[in-house]
Amino acid sequence: MAEKSISLEEDRAHYEIPSESQYHDTDVFGREEGHDIHYKTLSWQLVAVLMIAEIVSNGMLSLPSSLAVVGLVPGIILIVFLGTFALFTSWILIQFKLRHPEVHNMGDAGMIVFGPIGREVLSFGTIVFAVFATGGQILAGQISLAALSDNKLCLMLYTGIFTIPTLFCALPRTLDQLSLLSIFSVISIIVAGIVGMVGAGTQFNVSNYDITKSSDFTTAFFSITNPVFAYAGHFMFFILISEMKHPTHAMRAAWVLQTFATGFYVIFAAVLYVYVGPEVKSPAFSSLPIKWQKAAYGIAIPNFLIAGSLYSHTAAKLLFVRFFRNSRHLHSHTFIGWGVWVVLILIMTAAAFVLAVGVPIFNYLIGIAASLFASWYTYGIAGFFWLYDTWVYKGKMPAWKERWPMTSLSVATIIIGAFICVAGLYTTIKEIVAAYDSGEVSEPFSC
């Protein structure tokens, strides 16, 4: 970890979270009075909505199938544990951001903790994961459109149709404009989930579900990655907090996010699994009778659309701020500023589309990207952030020993992130090999 050589008195002063006035003097966007474009406009309520819109999305549709592999009780325990763990790492990330107002994204945090190489690795990972996540939402939109139209068109056409509004929704320069759309996104996924549960409850009898279930490691862990990745939104937190009016309120948004997400995930996954049974599909809506399937997918479309837009916006925003930090193009309506912004959105969305339709194993590549990056961004890397700040600003090894409970938790967080990363890669690659052996893999750019 990179270390700064400043006095202990300065270290201890820096460790304390600055006042809001000091924060706004040194953060990435600075004082915005007199500028054309104001970024720091989000309330904590709107940040909570944005967090829910990007996290509670198509990932939850795989949770019932996870319960079908490991059983009802272990599955629920896992969802609750991961949600609680994600709340803990949210707190660490938010504290780190408040101590380092200049941090805009994971790349900036990587520069502080790991140096220039860390900056490039974490920036690259953020962009790659955001583009893959956009592609995943586009695929969810493809499935929805195909279900609504009884598969009358080539799937690649559905993908292209859904990509166009995803691109346009990502174009606003500031997140407050996307936050208004995210309100509809959150409403749509809640209502879609309720429709799915009602459909399962009215169309199926209680099935022969398992309280607990044994399985081989590869199958079990591959299913366990579903709830892990259902919480994979922390890579956006620094960018979201950077556009808050009152960044010190960020933890309120995190509490709302994790409480709602964990509760909704448990109820949705349990209801779909208990009624549909071991044959529940992923995505879960596809297990419903066609009328209920169409209703659920149709209502969920705004969520898939806005979540995809948020991800591509995030990838573009990271590069845009890096290009134009401390430049007039960041805050003014310049031709260069808007031109670069539009090009970045086009590139990110186009890349997501090409990956979604041009890579036969794209669904598995999402798993690889999530294993490589989401395991760290949501869980593992938070441990490094706490250890770094405590070492540099509180007195090195004695500070770690004095705060041994947090030190132990931070080390455990790093170990868990590493385990999820390695095991996730191993099981996903095995699934890819099995898919090729079975002939499941389709041709690129095919229907």
Q: What is the pLDDT of residues 203-218, one digit of tens each?
A: 888 878 889 888 777 7
Q: What is the pLDDT at residue 370?
A: 78
Please give the single-letter amino acid code of residue 71: G
Average pLDDT value for residue range 270-286: 91
Asked whether the predicted pLDDT for residue 228 surpasses 80, the reply is no
Asked whether the predicted pLDDT for residue 230 surpasses 90, the reply is no
Asked whether the predicted pLDDT for residue 253 surpasses 80, the reply is yes
Average pLDDT value for residue range 274-287: 90
Helix 116-148 to helix 290-324 angle (10° resolution) is 150
- Reduce the secondary structure of the chain to three states and give it as a string: CCCCCCCHHHHHHHHCCCCHHHHHHHCCCCCCCCCCCCCCCECHHHHHHHHHHHHCCHHHHHHHHHHHHHCHHHHHHHHHHHHHHHHHHHHHHHHHHHHCCCCCCHHHHHHHHHCHHHHHHHHHHHHHHHHHHHHHHHHHHHHHHHHHCCCCCCHHHHHHHHHHHHHHHCCCCCHHHHHHHHHHHHHHHHHHHHHHHHHHHHHCCCCCCCCCCCCCHHHHHHHHHHHHHHCCCHHHHHHHHHCECCHHHHHHHHHHHHHHHHHHHHHHHHHHHHHHCCCCCCCHHHHCCHHHHHHHHHHHHHHHHHHHHHHHHHHHHHHHHHHHCCCHHHHCCCHHHHHHHHHHHHHHHHHHHHHHHHCCCHHHHHHHHHHHHHHHHHHHHHHHHHHHHHHHHHCHHHHHHHCHHHHHHHHHHHHHHHHHHHHHHHHHHHHHHHHHHHCCCCCCCCC
Averaged pLDDT score across all residues of the chain: 88
> What is the rounded distance in angstroms from the CA atom of residue 275 to the CA atom of residue 143?
23
Q: What is the pLDDT at residue 443?
A: 67
Q: Thinking of the domain 32-363, which architecture would CATH place it in?
A: Orthogonal Bundle (1.10)
Please give the structure tokens belonging to residue 311.
């991800």
> What is the rounded distance in angstroms from the CA atom of residue 61 to the CA atom of residue 49?
19
CB atoms within 10 A of CB 165: 16
Asked whether the predicted pLDDT for residue 222 surpasses 80, the reply is no
Higher pLDDT, 394 or 365: 394
pLDDT, tens digit, 9 for 90 and up, residues 65-81: 889 988 999 999 999 99
The pTM of the full predicted model, rounded to 2 decimals, is 0.90
Question: Residue 338's pLDDT band (boundaries 50, 70, 90)?
Answer: very high
CB atoms within 10 A of CB 5: 5
pLDDT, tens digit, 9 for 90 and up, residues 141-160: 998 999 998 888 878 888 99
* Dihedral angle computed from the Cα positions of residues 151, 154, 155 and 161, in that order, rounded to the nearest 10 degrees: -100
pLDDT, tens digit, 9 for 90 and up, residues 415-427: 999 998 998 888 8
